[in-house]
Every structure is written in C-alpha cells, then in structure tokens.
A and B are shown apart, each in its own frame.
Chain A
C-alpha cells in the first residue's frame, strides 16, 4: 500500500527526548526561524524610498487602491441604475412629455395657437398652471402619437389617427340591457334571506373521565434476585 511522506513520518517511532532536549528543540526552532538578517543594502533601499517622489508610488499603494475602488463602485452603480433609467424613459409619462411638442405642433396646425407651456410661465414669473389640453377645450384632436422625436429611426412626423366613433351609442344612467325581456317599468328586488335562528350551545358527546390508581412495581436489581 502506498504511503505518503507524512504518513511514513508519523508512523516512524519518535525518539524519547529528555526535558532539556525538548526545551532545546524549541529554542533551536525559534532561533532558526528568527535569527535571520535583512538582505544587504537595506540602508540604500530605505534611502531610495525616502528619495522617491510621491508621484512614483506603487500602483498597489493605498491611495491608488482607494481611487480604483471608488471607480469600481461608480461603474457598478451606473450599471445597476441603467435599467431603471431606461424604464423611466419608456414610461408613458415621459413619452408623453417627449411627444408633447409634436402634439402641440399638430394641434396648433389644426386648432390655432398653442397653449402656454409651464417653462414659459416660469420664465415670465407667473404662477404655473396646468395647460389645458385640446380635448378639454372641446377641440376634436386625434390621440397623440407616441413618437420619440430624438430617435432618428422613428418617424418624426405626427400621424393623425382616424376619429373613433362610439359604436354603442350615447351613454346614460338607465338600464338598457339588450337581453332584458321584462316590462320597461319593472323594478329589480334582491332575494329575501331566510330568517336566521339564534345561536345555541350544544354539548358534544364525550365519555366520562376515569382515573385509575397508580401502581409502582419494583424494578429487578441484578444480583439481588434472591
């Protein structure tokens, strides 16, 4: 069977040491470990390090490592935040904001002067009020196309959509269900609920408790059977 060097070493019988020999062995080991001199030319190396300008420090020195760590954290943070930013850009609110100039230009081309923008109001020092959109002014404008004008591949021109007509007619508060076959003046009433009986406490069937007397039997002790 193959034995490793360590196994062979541990299987070998150890010599019996005297008390002083153990102490000597420890002393010798510590001396051998510690009584080492520095490489020659230490003074020269120290002087060259003292004379070395601060700009020629090692790349592994603490300031460089700190800067590198900060840069790594920055790159990591940007990488983690990027999807959120893209999602924000793709959100309807921002898309509406970006498409607003196109809608304004489209509306102005069809319905007259464009409403004042908040930035203009701020610049003029007036109180900011939400601009009234064309559909609230009663103008009939097609829905705003969600086109990002900054995207060169996207169509920069606003495309007017056809006006949507309500297929179900004018809405109202009266019931006009097409499948109701009753009279026109019928009144719907909820079904009557059955009268609830009051709660009653009912005893569950249970056998009576029976307590038996405790009997202690002595355990057999080995050797004392007789």
Chain B
C-alpha cells in the first residue's frame, strides 16, 4: 500500500510538472485567468531578482522584503494589463523599482530613519546585517574578507550619489543585465555603464584618501 504522503507528493508532482516547464508568458496567461498557483510559480522564479533590485534601492533587507511583496501584489492586481510586448520579468522589475523609489522617498521612512534607526556616515540607514540571509552560492573567499576594508568600502558606497550608487549596486546583484538595469532606471545602456565605471572611480579615489594606497 502506498503511504498517503508519498501519494500526495506524486499528485503534486504531476500537477506541477507542466508548470515548471512552462514559459513565463504561459504562466502569465494562466495568472490572467485567475490561476494563483501559476502566479506563485512566477513569484518563485523572479523573487531573487525582485528582492535584490529592491535591496539596491532601499538598502535594508527588511524593507526590501516589504517592497518585494508590494511589487508582487501590484503585479498580480495589474496582470490583466500586461500584453506580452516586453518580458514579464522586465515589466515586474519596472514595478519593483517604482515601488522601491516610492519607499525611499517616503516621508514616514525618512522620519523613522532620522529619529530611530542608527545611521552611518552617509546619512543612510545602517545596513542591518542581522536581517541578512547569506546567499548559498557565496564563496568562502567572499565570506572571509578584510573586515575593515569591507566596512570602509561599504560606508563609501553609501556616500556615492544615488544615481551612481543605484547603478553600481544593481550591477553587483548578479541578477540583472545592463540592459535590464537601463530599462529599470530609464536610461540608455551607455549611461548605465558610465555610471558604474564612475562609481568605481570615485570609490577608488576615496579609498586612496583614506590611506589605502594602491599600485
């Protein structure tokens, strides 16, 4: 006799098998028809890209999580307006970036950050390391780094102009191409590349001013 749990797993596997092979557009069509499971699959496929885009903007994992949820809820409520002219992921990332910018410009957030949360030298809210969930694909070298240098670079990134910092952090997520970043930010590809390069140049100059001479 087959155990109940095993049989239920089999049933779920047979139901979800076509979903896993379906394209984003197929899932969108199903979601437009009201299939919540199909939308759940879209969430699963894009959750990391959406979360990291939000994180690049608001720089707080807790707030990025909230923005991610808002972005997915908005995408679900407006999925009827998606006509498939662009990729679903691009459309979703545009929604996410707008939500994250709204959150960053929120007066209540500004008050909360100003009054309550600890701040770093750049005036931004401190990056809360406790809330972080380390990615599974991070190497040992990445984990064991020079703490002081790391802290300085992180602090200096916070002092960059927002346009440069957004481009640099989005490029560093490992989830977004330059083309996607350009569509999110509404800037041409060349501008995105220039901003990333300029951000790195400023960081190196500021590191040198801190005493990190380099050859």
- In angstroms, how far is the closest chain A Cβ from the Cβ of B30? 15
> Contact string, B154-192, partner A, CB cutoff 8 A, digits 1/0?
100100000000001101111000000000000000000
| Interface range, A side | 35 or more
State whether B76 touches A50 (Cβ < 8 A).
yes
When distances are taken between beta carbons in the complex, the residues of chain B under 8 Å from A22 are 204, 207, 212, 214
Bound complex: CA A18 to CA B127 (Å): 28
Interface of A is mostly: helix
When distances are taken between beta carbons in the complex, the residues of chain B under 8 Å from A13 are 211
Judged by a CB distance under 8 angstroms, whether B103 is at the interface is no
| Candidate in A29, A34, A47 with the most chain B CB atoms within 10 angstroms | A34
Number of residue pairs across A and B with beta carbons under 8 Å? 131
| Candidate in A19, A28, A46, A49 with the most chain B CB atoms within 10 angstroms | A46
State whether A28 touches B145 (Cβ < 8 A).
yes
Residue of B nearest to A6 (CB): B121
State whether B108 touches A26 (Cβ < 8 A).
no
When distances are taken between beta carbons in the complex, the residues of chain A under 8 Å from B211 are 10, 13-14
- In angstroms, how far is the closest chain B Cβ from the Cβ of A166? 70
Judged by a CB distance under 8 angstroms, whether B100 is at the interface is no
When distances are taken between beta carbons in the complex, the residues of chain A under 8 Å from B172 are 27, 30-31, 33-34
Residue of A nearest to B56 (CB): A34
Judged by a CB distance under 8 angstroms, whether B78 is at the interface is no
Given A19-B215, A43-B44, A47-B40: A26 touches B200 (CB 8 Å cut-off): yes
Residue A50 contacts which of B65, B73, B200, B203 (CB distance < 8 angstroms)? B73
Interface of B is mostly: helix
> Contact string, A14-40, partner B, CB cutoff 8 A, digits 1/0?
111111011101111111111111111
When distances are taken between beta carbons in the complex, the residues of chain A under 8 Å from B214 are 16-19, 21-22
- In angstroms, how far is the closest chain A Cβ from the Cβ of B142? 6
When distances are taken between beta carbons in the complex, the residues of chain B under 8 Å from A37 are 48, 51, 133-136
State whether B154 touches A29 (Cβ < 8 A).
yes
Given A18-B214, A25-B146, A50-B76: A34 touches B174 (CB 8 Å cut-off): yes
Judged by a CB distance under 8 angstroms, whether B15 is at the interface is no
B98-155 with Cβ < 8 A to chain A: 108, 127, 132-138, 142, 145-146, 148-150, 153-154
When distances are taken between beta carbons in the complex, the residues of chain B under 8 Å from A18 are 214-215
Bound complex: CA A220 to CA B143 (Å): 71
State whether A34 touches B52 (Cβ < 8 A).
yes
Given A27-B172, A38-B47: A49 touches B148 (CB 8 Å cut-off): no
- In angstroms, how far is the closest chain B Cβ from the Cβ of A119? 51
Residue of B nearest to A48 (CB): B69
Judged by a CB distance under 8 angstroms, whether B72 is at the interface is yes
State whether B69 touches A33 (Cβ < 8 A).
no
When distances are taken between beta carbons in the complex, the residues of chain B under 8 Å from A49 are 69, 73
Residue of B nearest to A36 (CB): B132
Judged by a CB distance under 8 angstroms, whether B17 is at the interface is no
Judged by a CB distance under 8 angstroms, whether B13 is at the interface is no
Residue B150 contacts which of A14, A29, A36, A46 (CB distance < 8 angstroms)? A29
- In angstroms, how far is the closest chain A Cβ from the Cβ of B206? 11
The 9 closest A-B pairs by CB, nearest first: A30-B172, A29-B153, A14-B211, A38-B51, A17-B214, A46-B72, A35-B135, A34-B173, A43-B43
